[in-house]
């Protein structure tokens, strides 16, 4: 996987810059694939530059090695799962890098990612769970948006201005906010209704809420496993839910800052334990 995240060139709209460049991230499952892809990138850059009468160069900064689980360790772990009362999850692959992979050059390794399954079907929060109070009258962001095609862009912009977290956390918060607003716009069918976007960003948790008429936020049986925004919530948020109150509903998510910076345990299913009161 090659992700080009930065493009740069000149500073004036009417002047062709003498140089231009890009920054990208290259990910591969296997070391031999990584070596081949590095060579291909260099060849493509050189070929395109030559075709346009330019000179092209590539500078590669090595990152963490590709993480490969040892087959024997994996087989033994699968044998021990039933004795521990654990079930094997569906096969899952990732292009994410991990410094744990450096140990693979010294000994057989296996990286395990756990999934916490919660099949609770209701959107109401369990009263027995402790919550951290956040003043609902003093959010870091509170604004009203019209449910139209411009709403997701406005929501992304304003949420990104609230705080300066780590780039990964900021991207996750902006992406999930955009997905929540986009989902509401799609359900509104150009109704022109309004929604309220609120966000809290204290030192330990990020919480974003979207309040709108219930029909624009409610979940249906068809959404399970099909709705892309819900899949992203399952993957990136530590908790999320839809709380209904009369004709209105509140769809929210939370991301723990300290968990996001540490090793991330990937949950599955709709999480409803909240650190904040809606």
Q: pLDDT of 162-184, one tens digit each?
A: 876 677 788 889 999 999 998 88
| Alpha-carbon dihedral 13, 15, 17, 20, rounded to 10 degrees | 20
The answer to whether the CB of 50 falls within 8 A of the CB of 38 is no
Question: What stretch of H or E contains 168?
Answer: helix 167-188
Final residue in a domain of this structure, among 113, 142, 164: 113
Same domain, 143 and 186: yes
| Predicted pLDDT at 223 | 54
Same domain, 82 and 205: no
pLDDT band of residue 94 (cuts 50, 70, 90) is: low
274 is a domain residue: no
The answer to whether the CB of 217 falls within 8 A of the CB of 225 is no
Final residue in a domain of this structure, among 93, 113, 133: 113
Angle at alpha carbon of residue 275, lines to 270 and 278, rounded to 5°: 80
Same domain, 154 and 241: yes
Q: Which of 192, 230, 234 is nearest to 213 (CA)?
A: 192
pTM of the full structure: 0.48
Of the two residues 140 and 275, the one the predictor is more confident about is: 140
| Predicted pLDDT at 277 | 43
Same domain, 98 and 198: no
Rounded to whole angstroms, the maximal C-alpha distance in the chain is 69
CATH code for the domain of 155:
3.30.565.10
DSSP alpha helices (H): ranges in 56-166?
71-80, 151-162
Domain count, the chain: 3
Q: Which of 115, 67, 62 is nearest to 88 (CA)?
A: 115
Q: What contacts 228, CB < 8 A, 6 or more positions away?
A: 179
Of the two residues 134 and 49, the one the predictor is more confident about is: 49
Same domain, 135 and 109: no
236 is a domain residue: yes
Same domain, 14 and 32: yes
Q: Which of 246, 237, 248, 247 is nearest to 272 (CA)?
A: 237
Whether the per-residue pLDDT at 119 is higher than 60: the answer is: no
Same domain, 130 and 243: yes
Residues spanned by the domain of 263: 121-269
Final residue in a domain of this structure, among 113, 146, 163: 113
Mean pLDDT of 7-15: 88
Question: What stretch of H or E contains 176?
Answer: helix 167-188
Same domain, 89 and 169: no
Same domain, 127 and 250: yes
CA distances from 49 to 23, 43, 228 (A): 16, 10, 38
Same domain, 86 and 139: no
- The pair of three-digit structure tokens given for residue 184, joined into one six-digit string: 């509401």
In whole angstroms, what is the distance from residue 226 CA to residue 72 CA? Answer: 36
| Predicted pLDDT at 245 | 78
- Polymer length of the chain: 278
201 is a domain residue: yes
243 is a domain residue: yes
Same domain, 44 and 95: no
Same domain, 77 and 157: no
Of the two residues 93 and 245, the one the predictor is more confident about is: 245
Mean pLDDT of 73-83: 84
């Amino acid at each position: 996987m090659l992700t080009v995240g930065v493009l740069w060139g000149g500073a004036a709209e009417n002047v062709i810059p003498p140089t231009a460049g890009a920054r990208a991230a290259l990910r591969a499952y296997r070391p031999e694939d990584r070596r081949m892809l590095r060579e291909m990138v260099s060849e493509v850059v050189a070929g395109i530059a030559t075709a346009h009468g330019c000179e092209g160069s590539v500078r590669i900064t090595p990152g963490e090695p590709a993480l490969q689980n040892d087959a024997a360790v994996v087989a033994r772990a699968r044998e021990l799962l039933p004795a521990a009362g654990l079930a094997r999850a569906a096969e899952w692959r990732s292009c994410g890098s991990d410094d744990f992979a450096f140990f693979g050059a010294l000994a057989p390794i296996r990286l395990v990612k756990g999934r916490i399954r919660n099949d609770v079907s209701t959107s109401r929060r369990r009263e027995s769970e402790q919550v951290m109070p956040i003043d609902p009258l003093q959010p870091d962001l509170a604004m009203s948006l019209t449910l139209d095609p411009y709403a997701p862009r406005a929501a992304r912009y304003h949420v990104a201005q609230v705080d300066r977290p780590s780039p990964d956390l900021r991207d996750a918060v902006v992406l999930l906010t955009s997905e929540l607003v986009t989902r509401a716009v799609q359900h509104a069918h150009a109704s022109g209704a309004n929604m309220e976007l609120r966000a809290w960003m204290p030192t330990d948790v990020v919480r974003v809420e979207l309040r709108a008429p219930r029909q624009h936020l409610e979940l249906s049986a068809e959404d399970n496993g099909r709705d892309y925004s819900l899949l992203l919530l399952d993957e990136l948020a530590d908790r999320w839910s839809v709380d209904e109150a009369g004709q209105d509903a509140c769809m929210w998510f939370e991301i723990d800052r300290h968990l996001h910076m540490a090793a991330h345990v990937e949950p599955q299913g709709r999480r409803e334990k909240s650190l904040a009161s809606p």
